[in-house]
Amino acid sequence: MKYKILGVYTGKISKLPNDFVTAITKEPRDVIKVSKDWIEGNEINNLVHHGGDMRVIHHYSMANYNYLKEQFPDIADRFLPGTYGENIVTEELTERDLNIGDIYQLGTAKVQLTVSRRPCVTINHAYQDGRVQKEIVVSGRSGWYYRVLEEGEIRPGDYLEFLERPYPDLPLYKLHIQGYGEERFADKEYLRRCLETGLMDKGWKPKIEAALN
């Protein structure tokens, strides 16, 4: 299975129209160079809550953008690639198609899926609408991250090609449900296995550890 990369994006720290300072808005590039810890030219405003080697590359899909357009037709023109903070966009894929730990060839890089994004209120600032973050939390269409196993370059027109699924019993969407569903952090066995992968980031890891103690 492989999925065409429609665009690649990086961003700079800047002020939104409401003076909120963020680097969520990304601009299209001809190529992005990814290393084990960062993407060249991609700035991060809040290093406490963002960045790190477990979430170097952020992926969102047009399938998810189209869902948001359907939910908010009055602001549909705001849901453009790069506005959600992602670094790569494909037409296909949602959180229900993926598993924690999935390994891919991405351009000349090799990457591994780590965690789903934890949607914060910066999303509402980015879209200038207080409804969006809640819908993303409820729907689970939060996007996801990769760590970089082998450094390389990614260009529009390259492919995300599936290589391996080492954890077939760890669906990605379930992580979001554990974090935001009605019975939060209730499936201890699933959470334990997530932690044992060594792929949980600085956002998810302490919450899972607390739930298991």
- pLDDT, tens only, 164-201: 999 999 999 999 999 999 989 999 999 999 999 999 99
- pLDDT, tens only, 135-148: 999 999 999 999 99
User: Over 90: is that where the pLDDT of 45 sits?
Assistant: no
pLDDT of residue 183: 86
pLDDT of residue 78: 98
pLDDT of residue 146: 98
| Domain annotation covers residue 17 | yes
173: left (phi over 0), alpha (psi -120 to 50) or beta: alpha
Number of independent structural domains in the chain:
1
12: Cβ contacts below 8 Å, ≥ 6 apart: 23, 43
Quote the pTM value: 0.96
| Domain annotation covers residue 122 | yes
Domain containing residue 26: 2-166
Give the domain CATH number at 91.
2.40.33.20
| Domain annotation covers residue 204 | no
Q: Give dist(CA 207, CA 6) in Å, integer.
A: 34
**Residue 47: Cβ within 10 Å count:** 9
- pLDDT, tens only, 46-104: 777 788 999 999 999 999 999 999 999 999 999 999 999 999 999 999 999 999 999 99
| Domain annotation covers residue 179 | no
pLDDT of residue 51: 86
